[in-house]
Amino acid sequence: MNGGTAAQGVGFFPNYEAEGQHEANEFANGNFGLLEAALEWLGERGRTPVYLGVWSENDGAQRLYGRYGFEKVGEYDFPVGDQLDREFILKRSS
């Protein structure tokens, strides 16, 4: 999680693939504590909206984030090796 702001919000982008894979493994095991703790911590401090990036083909993660109130607000291309993966930008307002 970075402390920078985007449109007076907070960005929540995993640091390259290793951290993103760790998050995916935690979610697959049903452990959402890190996400819940981060959202709670940010909310208590009035740090909203919260933004995150998710791979466009990761339907499970998109559904998960949707259950936490995130909505798609944009897209961008993320370089992975020799290709570009389409990423969605999700936003949670509160």
Dihedral sign of CA atoms 52, 7, 67, 76 in order: negative
Q: What is the pLDDT of residues 9-60, one digit of tens each?
A: 445 444 334 445 455 555 555 566 788 888 888 889 999 899 999 999 999 9
Q: Which residues pair with 51 in a beta bridge?
A: 11, 91
The CATH code of the domain at 5-92 is 3.40.630.30
User: 0.75 exceeded by the pTM?
Assistant: no
Q: Which residues pair with 72 in a beta bridge?
A: 90
Q: Do 38 and 48 meet the contact criterion of CB atoms below 8 Å apart?
A: no
